[in-house]
Structure 1
Amino acid sequence: MSYDISIWSVNKTSFKNEVFNQENIKWQNDGIIYEGSNWQIMISNPHEVMEEDIPEEVLGELPGISYFTNIILEPIGAPKRSFQILKKISKILAQSSHGVIIDEQEGTVSSPSGVKRLENVLVKEDPSFLQMTWWFIDNQKFKKAGFEAFLDLIESTMPEVLPRRYGLYEPPQFKLSDKGKGHFIEFMFKNLHEGVVWYPSKPFTDVHFGIPDKVGPTREGFRSCYVSINFLEEVLSQPGWPLEIKRFWLKTSELLNSFYGEIRRGWSPVSAWWWRGLPKKLGNAAILGEPYIDLWPDFVNKAKQTESGLFYIENINKDYQDLHSIITEIPEAIVQPKNKQKYSRNWPFKGPFLKYK
């Protein structure tokens, strides 16, 4: 039998530490072996992993986990000194790769000194922020199961988005730590059509919902559902956060079945739930669903596809510039007009106005 430890990390583990330059280290194609007297520690090379491979107990521990390194001590009855070396090596490798350590035998997850999910983010007087937003149609599905599924996704992967405080006015009157998740869910279902105030934790600054009672054409214009989350741009310089933001944005896009979603610096040109067409200027990331997939073939041809059939182009981790260096301008026929009373010439929904009787 063996004693197994695994490291799940943002970066590749490194063997540059002096511990790995000793005479009892043997280098192999698939990793290295630290040899003792009648015992050995085998360390694999780091393997890149898909998000679906990351264990549940690790999700939410660190953003952007991308690599797995396996460490095996044989035999399990090795002397005490071998276990001391095993723990030392594990900490060195986790620190070098910004990772967490899973002790398979003890069933524990730990982070070595210096490895944090989030370093302190200073909120400046006029901070630069980015905004994730999703527009979608099925308000009934969202009210039945979608909101709780969205909350579960937040809790497991992006817990900072959970509300510290919430209510119907500023400052919000309820604390999640006092009232609990059940009260929050009940409150949200009761007030989804209202302007709920939701205070998340850093690096997130604002969460906004717009779930109209009736989606589609009204006498004032076309209403869709939307969810918007703002976060401080500074966090994108911290380990793993650009990838984790992207993963969360894509998962939420699929969960909500968005017809359009985006990440951009500053405020979106789309006015809350009043949908009039795609914004003329794209931001750092954009995703398309039906009915816009058929209306912009050039985007689809250059985009990546999610498992649920949405198409996206993103440039989140490349200087955060907009997408127009990757994709051509949006076809004028599906862009929202400058005149706020008008709608795109090619209108793919019913409406957009209800006619007066």
Structure 2
Amino acid sequence: MSYDFELYTIAPRDLVDPPAFHGGGVQVDGPFHLEEDDIPSGYLPIVGGKRCLYQIHLQGLVAQVDKSVVDEWLHRVITQTNGTLIDSQTGKFETKAKSGNIRPEEDGAKVGAMSFYFEDGEEFFKHGFDSMLARISDILPAAMPTRYGSYEPLQGKVNQGEYAEIVAAFSEEIDIFMKSPAPFGYTFMSIPCAKTFEGYHPEHFIRRHHLLGMVQLELRQKVFTSPKILSAVLNLFKELCVDLDVVYAEILEESDGGSSWIWCGIPDRRAAHTICVGPAYQSVWPETSRSGELVGSRHRVFTIDRVGSSPPRPPANLLAPDRSGKDLREPLDYAAVFPFDYRFDRGSKR
């Protein structure tokens, strides 16, 4: 059992020692420094200017007599720090002066995404990640990540666009994600390479699937309502499609959050804003091999334009079958036409 609280304070504090009891105890993580966009919008009126977070976890089996000890300790912590304590389970809050319920958040604005799928994960790990950041810095510096880490809240910071520390962190811990200022957001990555699989069993179920490298950058709606920003995003998209030698890439005005490095075919999107089709799919989707905008020497881009054009819908035989509810430990179905020669190999480093 774990029961969780969040304590927001103005600055780091030395908390009074948490209680321990038979069968459980209290674990405190932090302090973590927060930016305003790390804090749920429904919390902001209650938290105010407090940007220091402690995560408090009540663990184990807690007898009734111990609950009163924990309650007393939490009250002392609130008083000591002049903080705001939020019960993560119920949404109730408490300060020295008042308590109450946080209003439920309204549904947030739509979030789009720019996603790239490519085959050479090893090259991305060795050189491509660094090159990608350099390309973003050159074409669209406003989209450069300013924070990074392996878990929330992100504590790694980028100062004045100097991203060498992110590259160094990525070389040590490949499972990181990054965050850029609005109108951009998180960057998520899944990279099949030897570094990723260092701790995996050679027959781990994930390696029984056809994996592509996947990089996804969030896009807020202002990207699509500002011609200047959208033009820069499209320029970046085209350059990264070539740099990464993508199999497929897409820009969505509203992401369904279903992107994955397990590639069973082209995602079944009803309305992509922009797509890029690489050579493998051009060979089985002839329409794309002789139309669209040629970028580099091998990739073709299709996008919405002012005269009503939109990206073509992939043929049904190229679409990934629906795998909702499927157990990823079991074999998955692939598109009827699948232009890759992939078989699970026990010795594979993919």
* Both structures adopt the same fold (TM-score exceeding 0.5): yes
Contact (CA 8 Å) 1:289, 1:311: kept in 2 or not? yes
Matched, 1:345 2:329: no
Residue 280 (structure 1) shift: 2.6
Distance 1:219 1:147, change over 3 A: closer
For residues 241-260 of structure 1, what are the structure 2 equivalents within 5 Å? 241-260=229-248
Partner of 1:229: 217
The normalised TM-score by structure 1 is: 0.57
Partner of 1:168: 150
Structure 2 portions without partners, runs of 5+ = 1-105, 197-204, 327-331
Residue 169 (structure 1) shift: 0.9
Distance 1:285 1:180, change over 3 A: closer
Contact (CA 8 Å) 1:128, 1:234: kept in 2 or not? no
Partner of 2:89: none
For residues 1-357 of structure 1, what are the structure 2 equivalents within 5 Å? 126-177=108-159, 180-192=162-174, 194=175, 196-213=176-193, 219-268=207-256, 271-281=259-269, 282-315=271-304, 317-318=305-306, 323=310, 327=312, 329-339=313-323, 341-351=332-342, 353-354=344-345
Contact (CA 8 Å) 1:269, 1:279: kept in 2 or not? no
Distance 1:171 1:296, change over 3 A: same
Alignment RMSD (CA, Å): 2.9
The secondary structure found in structure 2 opposite 1:291 is helix
The normalised TM-score by structure 2 is: 0.58
Distance 1:322 1:198, change over 3 A: farther
The secondary structure found in structure 2 opposite 1:302 is coil
Contact (CA 8 Å) 1:161, 1:200: kept in 2 or not? yes
Residue 352 (structure 1) shift: 5.1
Distance 1:268 1:322, change over 3 A: farther
1:33-57 residue CA offsets vs partner (Å, 9 max, x unmatched):
xxxxxxxxxxxxxxxxxxxxxxxxx
Residue 148 (structure 1) shift: 1.4
Residue 348 (structure 1) shift: 1.5
Identity among equivalent pairs (%):
21
Distance 1:139 1:351, change over 3 A: same
- Residues matched between the structures, number: 226
Contact (CA 8 Å) 1:284, 1:322: kept in 2 or not? no
Distance 1:250 1:232, change over 3 A: same
Deviates more, 1:155-164 or 1:133-142: 155-164
The secondary structure found in structure 2 opposite 1:240 is helix
Contact (CA 8 Å) 2:122, 2:192: kept in 1 or not? no
Residue 265 (structure 1) shift: 2.2
Residue 239 (structure 1) shift: 4.5
Contact (CA 8 Å) 1:283, 1:322: kept in 2 or not? no
Look up the equivalent residue of 2:338 and give its one-letter code.
Answer: W
Task: Quote the Cα distance in structure 1 between the aligned partners of 2:250 and 2:256.
Answer: 9
Structure 1 portions without partners, runs of 5+ = 1-123
